[in-house]
Structure 1
Amino acid sequence: MTLLLQAGGDLFTNGFFMIAMLAVLVFTMIIPQRRRSKQQKAFMSELKKGQRVVTASGILGIIDKVEDQIVTLNVGNKTYIQVTKNAISKELTDAIYPAKTEG
């Protein structure tokens, strides 16, 4: 009888440990990823002409035109390329062209 109770206690402890690990995984990986995804979608919806951006492949340019999901970038000397909105990286844009602070 003590053997059954001891085995049952171990099963409960292991199950609790697995649930705790799952909770840690959710709070450290899944929730921050959702937050970044929402920020990226907001950034893409606010793209406008004249804004300096960086594509995910590292191309620097100034937005010349925004049409639905296509963005035309001026990459220098009247050279234009078209990329999709999701190719523009918020992280790199913020790193290379930091937001101007008023002060």
Structure 2
Amino acid sequence: MLPILLLIPIMYFAMIRPQQKRQKQWQQMLADIKPGDRITTSGGIRGTILSIKDDGIIIKVAPDGIKMEIAKSAIGSVTTEDKAS
């Protein structure tokens, strides 16, 4: 019975807690985005944020300057101007 009881905390610290930490970091990243930040979507599209709406953002994609509207949940990573400098 003791090994089964020990398995629950081990599973929590090995699987559930790291996932919750990554989720909080991702939500904080989305809360901190601003126009001018460079993003990469989960689909691999790279662009610069032009404007932010409630649940979406408008990005400008190189080389032709095409404007696209994407969902905030599609953002995979953000590179701010401070990090690029």
TM-score range, shorter chain: 0.7 to 0.9
Compute the TM-score of the two structures, normalised by the length of structure 2: 0.86
The structure with the largest alpha-carbon Rg is 1
1:54 aligned residue: 40
Task: State the SS of the aligned residue for 1:57.
Answer: coil
Q: Which structure is higher in helix share? A: 1
**Identical-residue share of aligned pairs (%):** 27
User: Gaps spanning 5+ residues in structure 1: where?
Assistant: 1-14
Q: Considering Cα pairs closer than 8 Å and 6+ residues apart, tell me whether 1 or 2 has the greater RCO.
A: 2
What TM-score do the two structures reach when normalised by structure 1? 0.72
Q: Which consecutive segments of 4 or more residues in structure 1 shift more than 4 A?
A: none
1:29 to 6, 10, 15: 15
Q: Distance in 1 between matches of 2:84 and 2:29?
A: 18
RMSD: 2.1
5+ long unaligned stretches in structure 2: none
1 or 2, which has the higher strand percentage?
2
Aligned residues: 83
What SS does the corresponding residue of 1:48 show, helix, strand or coil? coil
